[in-house]
Amino acid sequence: MHYWRLEPSTWGAGLDALRAMGMRVVDTYVPWGAHEVSPRVFDFGQIRPRLDVARFLEMVHAREMLAIVRPGPHINAELTYFGLPERVVWDPACQARTPQNNPVMLPILPVAFPVPSYASEAFHEEVEGWFEACVPVLAPLRHPDGPIIMVQVDNEGALYFRDGAYDQDYHPDSVQLFRDFLRLKYKRPSALRTAWKEPEASLTFSTASPPTRFDAKSKEELARHLDWVEYQEHLLATAFERMGRKLGELGLDGIPTMHNFPLGEAATPLNPQRLFGAIDLVGLDYYHHATPSEHVVLMRRTTELAARAEGRDVPAFGAEVGVGFPPFFAPHDEKDSLYTLLAALAYGLRGFNLYMAVERDRWIGAPIDPHGNPRSLADTYNELCEALDRVQFFSMKRQTPVRLVVPRSLRRLARIAHAFGPITPAVFQIIGAGFREGAFEETPELGAGSQESLGAISSAESFVRAFERALLARGVPFAYAGGETTSVSTEGASWIVCATADGLKPDVIGELRARARSGCRVTLGPVVPTRDGSWRPLVHPVDMRGLEIEPLDDLARADVLVARRIEELSLPTFPVDPPDVYVTVHEDDVGPRLVFLMNPTMAPIVAKVGVPGPTTLSAVLGEPATFVRSGGGFEITLPSRTVRVFSAG
């Protein structure tokens, strides 16, 4: 609910409608650009009553609700400059830079603008000035004296969606930070020269320059490019840590911090492991359509989030679950919104923020109108919240004994090999395409460099997708475990399948061997790594003791291996027919408690579902209905683009 976009006379009605809808926490941005009336002069309700954020939060507190505040500096919120003051985005000292030293423009409606640099000292000084103004207003309203229980540090920090490997940031302060990063990584200039295959003594930490395009002609030349994209992860983590520390110093210490990853996060420099320590809770944004292709994307994203969150003992949080849409984006209807939320819950989400719950300018389709009047959709969300309470959903767990690991080194390789220039690689992830669809093909200019990169990406991605298909076909529950979070994301697994390219950090192998020693089966493939995560030759061969290598020369062999593991490890199976339908089961200490059935297709389907144990399935949402086991399973009709939820009895 965006207080500054609504008349204060409607705040109470909007909050009451939220509470009646089952919401317990109010999430709001605090927009720098709206509150700044002239350079470093701010209005918090003294001039315009709708900017009185303290009064709004006091009204939240009076209703015994809680609050998450999101002071940016970047908030997006469909604002013209993403919540930043116009003077800041047009200040050359604050702007991110292209390789040609031009401002990095974001072509967004209604006005394109140059994006800030996360390394710019001038930008950070401006941000600190904003925090010095807003935090004293917010800090007295921390829980328990007020409603604030969490603060967001920045927003969707994927370099303002200009996140191609060579789009940015060549700002002088960023180049210096890159050199500092190299010094931390390599320690000695001679080690840098060896890694970059630069024999000239003129290459030092003070002269190293970032690459400006993918021009590696062999795998030996990949290290410089991979160092650059790893640095971009470091850049974001450093910026967020600095912002979060300042918020704490000024008075918002002692409450959790959060950050939300946008769609396509796997193809961006946002690395949850790098943020660990600076950010307490990393959530995802959900703006999916109810279609088969987007269902698979949602499944991959949410299971990875849930596995990581569970390993860290924090809730898997949907920081923005789309309800409605801005008028200049592809439209979502009510079925899209409900399907996305329920499917995300099915795959492990344990908290969600409806964005937007209360409608405002530049938004269509929220369940509460700008005057605080609930629409029919509000009843549906209230029913859902009541049902989740009634069945004690948050005490349940979705068991995922199989984990599919996609190492960060593979994602970095895909970023540098992205072939579509300013079109972010995240777009390919959002539409359900893989890394290989966006990568270079072999070209005369790049020669073996492009061929080897494309081959590594294609082989590793084919490997993990083959196991995904085989697990889905036999109804074995699994989760993705990506990036650098293997140690926490594979906690409790019975079988780990890790996609490997020629390069893999030795630490990952060490973590997988530790899992194998504890009794977990670990399968790597299709190759044995001979290089590290920066594609430098390993000094010593990988110690593969306790690990099994599967080249998967025939992709159909994945099904054979899955069948074997079901028998060897007594893996649970929840088969469903036809394969267009998806099923997840949530359990407590007694056994299966809740069953989600998902049909993302445009046609109704009669599904046959096998869930061992229960004799009945009773609808938790919608019209009352109970289905009795027959012939070893249940036969249930699923309307198109619908998720049905059942309690097991």
Contacts of 275 (CB under 8 A, 6+ apart): 236, 237, 240, 259, 282
Mean local confidence (pLDDT), 236-248: 98
> What CATH fold (topology level) applies to the domain 3-168+234-391?
TIM Barrel (3.20.20)
Assess whether pLDDT exceeds 70 at residue 452: no
Note the CATH number of domain 576-648. Answer: 2.60.40.1180
Lowest mean pLDDT among 89-98, 337-346, 471-480, 531-540: 531-540
Task: Pick the range with the lowest mean pLDDT from 116-130, 370-384, 439-453.
Answer: 439-453
Residue 330 has pLDDT above 70, yes or no: yes
The answer, yes or no, to whether residue 159 has pLDDT greater than 70, is: yes
Per-residue pLDDT averaged across 603-620, rounded?
96
Tell me the DSSP string of 404-437. Answer: EEEEHHHHHHHHHTB-STTS-THHHHHTT--TGG
Q: How many CB atoms lie within 10 A of CB 259?
A: 25
Provide the pLDDT confidence category of residue 422 given band limits of 50, 70 and 90: low
pLDDT band at 616 (very low <50, low <70, confident <90, very high): very high
Q: Is the pLDDT of residue 4 over 70?
A: yes
- What does the domain layout of the chain look like in residue ranges? 3-168+234-391, 402-569, 576-648
Question: Given this model, what pLDDT does residue 484 score?
Answer: 84
644 Cα distance to chain centroid? 25
- Residue 420 to residue 202: CA distance in whole angstroms: 33
Confidence check: pLDDT of 367 > 50: yes
Q: Which two tokens stand for residue 219?
A: 């795998």
Residue 459 and residue 454: Cα distance in Å, rounded?
Answer: 8
Q: What digits encode the pLDDT tens for the residues 51-82?
A: 999 999 999 999 999 999 999 999 999 999 99
pLDDT at 112 exceeding the cut of 80: yes
CA dihedral of 114, 116, 119, 125, whole degrees rounded to 10: 140
> How far, in Å, CA of 563 to CA of 299, rounded?
22
Q: What percentage of the chain carries pLDDT values higher than 70?
A: 95
Contacts of 137 (CB under 8 A, 6+ apart): 44, 53, 54
Q: What pLDDT does 444 receive?
A: 45
DSSP string, 104-142: -EE--SS--EEPBPSS-HHHHHHHHHHHHHHHHHHGGGB
Mean pLDDT computed over 141-160: 97
DSSP string, 334-362: HHHHHHHHHHHHHTT--EEEEETSB--TT
Interval 17-45: pLDDT, tens: 999 999 999 999 999 999 999 999 999 99
Whether the per-residue pLDDT at 579 is higher than 70: the answer is yes
Name the pLDDT band for 200 (thresholds 50, 70, 90). Answer: confident
pLDDT of 451 strictly over 70: no
206-239 pLDDT per residue, tens: 999 999 999 988 888 999 999 999 999 999 999 9
The predicted-structure confidence for 265-282, as pLDDT tens digits, reads as follows 999 999 999 999 899 999
State if pTM tops 0.75.
yes
Q: Phi first, then psi: give them for residue 596, nearest 5 degrees.
A: -105, 130
d(CA 122, CA 125): 5
Does residue 372 register a pLDDT over 70?
yes
CATH class of 402-569: alpha beta
Q: Do 151 and 128 contact (CB within 8 A), yes or no?
A: no
Q: 402-407 and 478-483: which strand pairing?
A: parallel
Query: Strand, coil or helix: what is 646?
Result: strand
* Residue 627 CB partners (closer than 8 Å, separation 6+): 616, 617, 618, 634, 635, 636, 646
Judge whether residue 441 has pLDDT over 70: no
Q: Which residue has the higher pLDDT, 446 or 113?
A: 113
